[in-house]
Amino acid sequence: MKFAVVFVVVSLAISVYSEETYPTKYDNIDIDSILNNDRLLNNYIACIEGTGKCTTEGDELKKYFTDAIQTCCSKCSQKQKEGVKKVVLFMEKNKPDKIKELRAKFDPEGVKDKECRKKYNL
């Protein structure tokens, strides 16, 4: 009986934890290699925008992308937050037109952009 109670409590804790954070199975992807390869970067962007095919990793990114914007990545792991910051800074410097398009599509009022920039000191 005690084992059953412990099992239920642990199961609930795991399910609550997994709902409050995004999966981390792709946290070790080499973001720099994607950012420095126009073909790969453009493919990921097209996936997110819904204008191109998605890889398995792209599907995962697309699945959580809008929620991450709306919550300022509150469900992101620390590594994911660092990755987001790296991508935003790279895009602003190297692909300003593309990040402007993404912002227009996913945060047209710019409210979340301002909120998240403040939160992450961007």
Helix (H, G, I), strand (E, B) or coil at 45: helix
How many residues are there in the chain?
Answer: 122
Stated pTM of the model:
0.78
Return the pLDDT at 33. 96
Return the pLDDT at 15. 36
Return the pLDDT at 121. 85
From first to last of its 122 residues, what are the pLDDT tens digits of the chain? 443 333 333 333 333 344 588 999 989 999 999 999 999 999 999 999 999 999 999 999 999 999 999 999 999 999 999 999 999 999 999 999 999 999 999 999 999 999 998 888 88
In a domain, 9, yes or no: no
Count of domains in the chain? 1
Nearest to 112 by CA among 72, 58, 83, 77: 72
- Whole-angstrom CA distances from 92 to 4, 76, 87 are 52, 21, 8
In a domain, 8, yes or no: no
Where residue 52 sits, what CATH number does that domain have? 1.10.2080.10
- Which residues constitute the domain of residue 65? 25-119
In a domain, 57, yes or no: yes
